[in-house]
Structure 1
Amino acid sequence: MSFWPTQDHWSVEIPLHTPHLRVDALNDTGFVQLSDMPTDVPSSEWESLEYMDWKSGGDTNFAPIASADGELDCRGFWDKGKTDKDALWTSNAEIAPTLREYVDGVGANFGRVRIIKLEPQDREVAMRSIHRDDNNRFNPDDEGWVVRSWVELTDNPDSYMLLMDNGPDGLPDPATERRVPLPKGARFVVDTQRLWHVVVHNGDSPRYALITSFESGPALASWIDSQRATATV
């Protein structure tokens, strides 16, 4: 492996241990696999959106479906003085009613909702973008910890989400590596502020997925329990 993050990586400074309310289902490994997407999503709901040239985790473009102020903006909510919660639907939401209904149906407070378009990248290239997310900036200590969910919209069974927990030095621990396969309809929830993560996309065309920030709490915990897969990764 030609790249490995060092203590100078910006992720190392992101807080890990806080008093925020967490979801028990994520305590052990930091992620949970859900059953496959129960609803068929028309391809027009991701192909017809307005995308922005925004890089995160590789050669990516993003289509914001909900943002801090309802504008087509990929920046962190902290740029608007907000935690990644209490999002407003953008104009893209009108083109993606199935996805909007899906997010609303979770019943938890949500922040950023967006479609990621990721170009192919092998493991070596992907590792250059491994990181942890700064999901909880400005989040009051007595509120719920923000995590992220994924729904795979295209079929990429040879691609996977690479996850690693932290070692004692605060860097990814290879002994904790998990791989979440990305066939169409795959769903999972990840504490991306805790886990180092990146997608290894071994396909020959772009991969599309829905990414949503959700606030941890009874609503999210209940929804996860109702959607759990029978087998784990």
Structure 2
Amino acid sequence: MSGLTDVLKNEYTGKLLDVAGVRKPPFVPDLNTKHYRAPLMEAGGGHVTLKKYSGPEIPASEWESLEYTTYKSDPFTYFAPICSPTGKNEMIGAAEVGKEELECVPTPNSEKCPTIMAWLESIGARYGRVQLLRMKPNTLRECRWGLHQDNNNLKNPDTHGWIVRVWLELTNDATSQLLVRSEHFNKKTEHAIALPQGQQAVVDSERLWHGGAHSGTHTRYALIASVESSPALNDWIKSQLP
């Protein structure tokens, strides 16, 4: 029965469940706020694929030695919080503790990944939650079933910049990719960002439906950081264009 349930998990049955009201209604972001939005992000439709990371080598120990945790709803994907709202190694939204997304502080994991922390600082923009993803192989069908939008700006004052996500792929596999869509169930709006080792990308993860796919044989690791849109972020994006 569990195998049959997994087979039935695809974007088409997902749409039927949404229409029937079986699943919780999806979060609907307000995309018409007064927050500053980086021009290069807007020009890219909410996502920009950058060149590969070219800084100092990041040793595997900076992701393999961290303390990981997960959500009860997803036993296959683990995260190592590097900056969190509480400073603890726990997966918790900033709003859950009455904070803004940018009001996060380093966790004990941050002391184990100095090269990663240096990369974050090199962006030059304020960052909030930072977490390292550890993901088992999955299929495109599973990825599309799990497409979602983040809620990064719930308590973000409109005097701040709109919060987006920066990706840095740490492991290498030709099958790793990040799917983004402007419309949840419209495959015509889908764009695949290839994620070889060192690939950098910026995605408006509240505006776009997104999910990771990795059908390789090894565990995938990637860094995901919430970053404030600002002229500094726009300048960094410009400096990192292919």
| TM-score in terms of structure 1 length | 0.90
CA distance in 2, matches of 1:95, 1:83: 25
Structure 1 equivalent of residue 191 of structure 2: 178
Alignment of 1:60 with 2:77, yes or no, is yes
Residue 157 of structure 1 aligns to a residue whose secondary structure is coil
CA distance in 2, matches of 1:33, 1:97: 25
Q: How much identity, in percent, do the aligned residues show? A: 38
Which residue of the other structure, out of 51, 59, 70, is the alignment partner of 1:35?
51
CA distance in 2, matches of 1:56, 1:224: 34
Contact 1:86 1:109 (8 Å CA) reproduced: no
Residue 118 of structure 2 aligns to a residue whose secondary structure is helix
Moved more, 185-194 or 26-35: 26-35
**AA at the equivalent of 1:37:** Y
**AA at the equivalent of 1:107:** G
User: What is the RMSD of the two structures over their aligned residues, measured on CA atoms?
Assistant: 1.8
Alignment of 1:18 with 2:33, yes or no, is yes
1:172 Cα deviation after fit: 3.8
CA distance in 1, matches of 2:215, 2:73: 17
Gaps of 5+ in 2: 1-9
CA distance in 1, matches of 2:74, 2:36: 27
Contact 2:178 2:193 (8 Å CA) reproduced: yes
CA distance in 1, matches of 2:151, 2:73: 13
Residue 81 of structure 2 aligns to a residue whose secondary structure is strand
Alignment of 1:154 with 2:171, yes or no, is yes
Residue 128 of structure 2 aligns to a residue whose secondary structure is strand
Point out the structure with max Rg over C-alpha.
2
Structure 2 equivalent of residue 197 of structure 1: 210
Structure 1 equivalent of residue 4 of structure 2: none
**AA at the equivalent of 1:75:** I
Residue pairs, 1:101-180, within 5 angstroms = 101-166=118-183, 171-180=184-193
Moved more, 42-51 or 64-73: 64-73
Structure 2 equivalent of residue 3 of structure 1: 13
CA distance in 2, matches of 1:218, 1:69: 28
1:58 Cα deviation after fit: 7.6
CA distance in 2, matches of 1:56, 1:198: 16
1:174 Cα deviation after fit: 1.8
1:92 Cα deviation after fit: 0.5
CA distance in 2, matches of 1:109, 1:96: 18
Greater share of residues in helix: 2
CA distance in 1, matches of 2:181, 2:112: 35
Structure 1 equivalent of residue 201 of structure 2: 188
1:159 Cα deviation after fit: 2.0
Contact 2:165 2:226 (8 Å CA) reproduced: yes
Q: How many residues align?
A: 225
Deviation digits for residues 46-90 of structure 1, max 9, x if unmatched?
A: 000000123688820000111113111211111121121032111
Structure 2 equivalent of residue 215 of structure 1: 228
Contact 2:70 2:91 (8 Å CA) reproduced: no
Residue 148 of structure 1 aligns to a residue whose secondary structure is strand
Contact 2:40 2:234 (8 Å CA) reproduced: yes
